[in-house]
Amino acid sequence: MLWMDHLENMEYLRDSVRLRAYGQQDPLVEYKNEGHKMFRGLLSTIESSIINTILRVSLQSVGEKKIGLPAEAQRSGAKVGRNDPCPCGAKKPDGRSIKYKHCHGKNL
């Protein structure tokens, strides 16, 4: 999204730099300088976005992260069949249960 916004902004810059030729400024030099400033701004925005994302990540202990099922389903020891409803309780939009093989069993 940030890259697409940057490309759109570069198109607007190209149009606006043409008008600077009337002010006795070289449009190519102005485009390069302004484009470089915008690119540095893009990089700093991406970096801050990455840092914010990293800071918001919550860590899970190893015991909770087996296959993404609720803790009570993992500890129960009961084996879930492929066509049984998924223990996580996921539902389709019409309210029916999703089968284990289409939910958490997909990665197995």
Q: How confident is the model at residue 63 (pLDDT cuts 50, 70, 90)?
A: low
Q: Which domain holds residue 41?
A: 2-56
Task: Look up the pTM and report it.
Answer: 0.50
> Residue 75 pLDDT > 80, yes or no?
no
Residues 50, 78, single domain; the answer is no
Q: Examine the domain organization and report whether 96 and 52 are in the same domain.
A: no
The number of distinct structural domains making up the chain is 2
Cβ neighbors of 67 (< 8 A, separation 6 or more) are 74, 104, 107, 108
Please state, as a whole number, how many other Cβ atoms lie within 10 Å of the Cβ of residue 81: 11
